[in-house]
Structure 1
Amino acid sequence: MATPLRFRADVLSKKAQAVGDTTNFDIAVRTGVRESTISRLMAGLTMPTVGTLGAIAVAYGTTLDDLVAGLVAKVPVSRTEEAA
């Protein structure tokens, strides 16, 4: 079963505060994302599009992985050698 994804508003908040962006308006100006969208993201009411995630990541020098919780790759383990 797939793990549900969740936007990490806490990460955005910390990144924004680190550069002096203290309001949703400041974040919107820096990212080019509408203030209403930022407000909904910060309140946990919506999941951003890939484009919005990209704009936020570029604006704050972070990665998509940092901004989204639940991205856990399950890699199957294969045995290459028989147990001795």
Structure 2
Amino acid sequence: MGWWRSLRRVLPRLVFVLYCLEAGLFLCLIPWRDGWVVLVDQFAVDAMRPYLRSSFIRALICGFGVVHLLWALHDLHDLLRRSEDVAPG
């Protein structure tokens, strides 16, 4: 039963780390892809299009992705460090 308790403790944090990695990569890469302009043209309100096409806004979105990546690395490091503290021996 000890493995179940440790899985219940680790699994939510591991899922959060995976979410942060995926969201961070997505937010860092998608604004600089060619498809970004297509997405902006199809879905954005007319008044927002010039702003969403600007490099400044793209960099802000990318920066938000970097925050997600750093958060994932921090939580992964914390998760691994705590699992070493709990490991027998």
Tell me the TM-score normalised to structure 1 length. 0.34
Q: Which has the higher strand share?
A: 1
Q: Which has the higher helix share?
A: 2
